[in-house]
């Protein structure tokens, strides 16, 4: 399984754009990248996933460079409610997800 490395924590202010970068140097050809958000005492919530280049949905964008050894989750104009832990995962086939330590994002007013 491809191991992921992401910052333990990040701080931001309301209205700012937040970029969380994750490295996954040994990602395999068929793997794709997925990001989850988790609030305290709740299960992880799917945010976005992608294989290469850029993916955008209503809540976030995901940038994946050509070598796919890293990815960046971009949250536009964060609010206090975006304070959460964000997990970057590399997915292989239909399998259980292996969670790393995640990034604890704290948004200040």
Task: Enumerate binding residues for another protein (CB under 8 A).
Answer: 32, 34, 36, 41-46, 49, 87, 91, 94, 96-102
Query: Smaller CB distance to another protein: residue 102 or 107?
Result: 102
Query: Smaller CB distance to another protein: residue 40 or 109?
Result: 40
Query: Smaller CB distance to another protein: residue 49 or 74?
Result: 49
Query: Smaller CB distance to another protein: residue 46 or 109?
Result: 46
Q: Are 8 and 93 in contact (CB under 8 A)?
A: no
Smallest separation (angstroms) from another protein to the CB of 95:
8
CA separation, residue 73 to residues 27, 55, 70, 94 (Å): 17, 10, 10, 23
Element (H, E) at 49: strand 45-50
CB-count burial class (<10 Å; 0-12, 13-18, 19+) for 46:
exposed
Smallest separation (angstroms) from another protein to the CB of 100:
6
Smallest separation (angstroms) from another protein to the CB of 87:
7
Cβ-based neighbour number of residue 71 at 10 Å: 28
């Amino acid at each position: 399984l491809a191991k992921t490395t992401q910052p333990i924590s990040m701080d931001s202010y309301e209205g700012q754009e937040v970029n969380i970068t994750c490295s996954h140097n040994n990602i395999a050809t068929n793997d794709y990248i997925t990001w989850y958000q988790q609030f305290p005492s709740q299960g992880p919530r799917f945010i976005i996933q992608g294989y290469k280049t850029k993916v955008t949905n209503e809540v976030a964008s995901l940038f994946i460079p050509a070598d796919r050894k890293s990815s960046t989750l971009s949250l536009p104009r964060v609010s206090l409610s975006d304070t959460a832990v964000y997990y970057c995962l590399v997915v292989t086939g239909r399998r259980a997800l292996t969670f790393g330590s995640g990034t604890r994002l704290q948004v200040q007013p």
